[in-house]
Amino acid sequence: MEIRQLDDYRWEIPRSGRMRVPGIVYSSADLFKLPGQDQPLKQVANVASLPGILKASLAMPDMHWGYGFPIGGVAAFDWDTGIVSPGGVGYDINCGVRLAGTALVEAEVRPRLTDLINSLYRDIPCGVGSTGNVRLTTKEEKKVLTQGSAWAVRQGFGDQADLDHTEDSGCLPAADPESVSKRALERGLRQLGTLGSGNHFLEVGVVDRIYDDAIAAAFGLFKDQVTVMLHSGSRGFGYQVCDDSLGSMSKHAHKAGFDLPDRQLACASITGAVGQRYLGAMACAANYAWANRQVMLHLTREVFQKVFSIGPRNLAMQLIYDVCHNIAKKELHQHRGKQQWVCVHRKGATRAFPPGHEALPEDYRHTGQPVIIPGDMGTASYVLAGTPLAMEETFGSTCHGAGRVLSRKAARKKSKGRAINRELEDRGILVRWTGRATLAEEMPEAYKDITSVIAAVHGAGISKKIARLRPMAVVKG
């Protein structure tokens, strides 16, 4: 496959074969040299062949192989003539990250860190098939699916300020519970307020570097501040929605005569019945995920208050922002000199809207959207801000994390004979986990260097570095 380097951080896959648009990859030369990059590049080219795609098939520096679309892939389709594809969203619909700041500093937390991480591990359910203390009836679950984070706040899990600092206020209005299968509803009844497994985590961190004092202050971040980051999604409910949709859409794509380079790119016209049914079910899963993270943030606040014998006012655990990674959304964007409605697929990618955008809360209207980028559990995470250039080039999108460089199998093999938890403790990072293979699969070496990934998106100008967070303690599913 021909790859042209456009500048230090942009690479082009020129149109060829069935490609309707070129592929554009945001990366650096060093990241391109890592093993396993050929597969996602091929997927970038495959996505470029889909009907109604606009401008380019895009990929971020954290890209790696995924189902259909690469993880780290972004593609926008004309709302009237384009398609929607579950492979462009992923199985864990609205897998996302929320970051909260506190009034505490590292020196206050470090002496009680063991008590804190043990309490978080005990009180926030995690692991494969984990269930929480929020028990739903099917009738109440459907309210979660249509109301999202607002349902959780109405139940006492948080407040209006949390909704204001959540992407789309934590709710997609197009949710249609009638498009969801009975099996998906069953799986969602007992998993609200749970972390899940795999790469999902709860991390207690500390702000160890500020790059932009003014914007960091606007976000409520300061040096040595203790923070909490939650990474989770729609659990078994979202997985089932994706699985059900892929089954029906694969049959539809065949009957409709879509010329697809990969059957994993099964799709349907956005405005058709099949496409609308998927978007309605996907919105339900997105709202479930937002409610899930909202409940967990509330539980986290309660744990901190108990461990430090502190009231909510003195703890001041304020949500900085919640962003989603795996989603397809109807958005208004500029294309060829005019505004039009598009369906933006972000799979392992983060929305990064610029200063002045009407979708942002008032207190962030002058800064641009907070962009939360977790790294691996042994290095660092970053807070960035959205930029005007992201709106021009990437439909307001940037990377979502470090991105895997080793498969889970390869990571288990490389970690054999090692005590990953001890290695992390030697760096001052406490870790608690459930799954037997979790730490091996999520070892730091399984991921790209987060600093290099952030350097690529910052250097390309599609998001701006604001602060760096260092992990102190991590709960892994």
Residues marked as catalytic: 400
DSSP string, 426-449: HTT-EEEE-STTHHHHT-GGGB--
Q: Which tokens in the block code for residue 123?
A: 């009180």
Which neighbouring-strand residues pair with 24? Answer: 12, 58
What is the spatial distance between Cα 48 and Cα 337, in angstroms, rounded to a whole number? 21
How buried is residue 375: exposed, middle or buried, by Cβ count under 10 Å (0-12/13-18/19+)? buried
CA distances from 153 to 7, 132, 164 (A): 46, 17, 12
**How many other C-beta atoms can be found within 10 angstroms of the C-beta atom of residue 336?**
7
Q: Using CB atoms within 10 A of its CB, is residue 60 exposed (0-12), middle (13-18) or buried (19+)?
A: buried
CA–CA separation, 99 and 372 (whole Å): 7
Rg, Å, the chain Cα set = 21
Specify whether the CB–CB gap between 167 and 321 falls below 8 A.
Answer: yes
Specify the 3-state DSSP secondary structure of 225.
strand
**Nearest CA-CA partner of 367 in 319, 321, 335:** 321
Question: Between the CA of residue 250 and those of 114, 238, 242, 261, 274, what are the distances in Å?
Answer: 49, 18, 12, 13, 11
CB atoms within 10 A of CB 166: 27
Measured CA to CA, the distance from residue 213 to residue 205 in angstroms comes to 19
Rounded-to-integer distance, Cα 471 and Cα 477, Å: 16
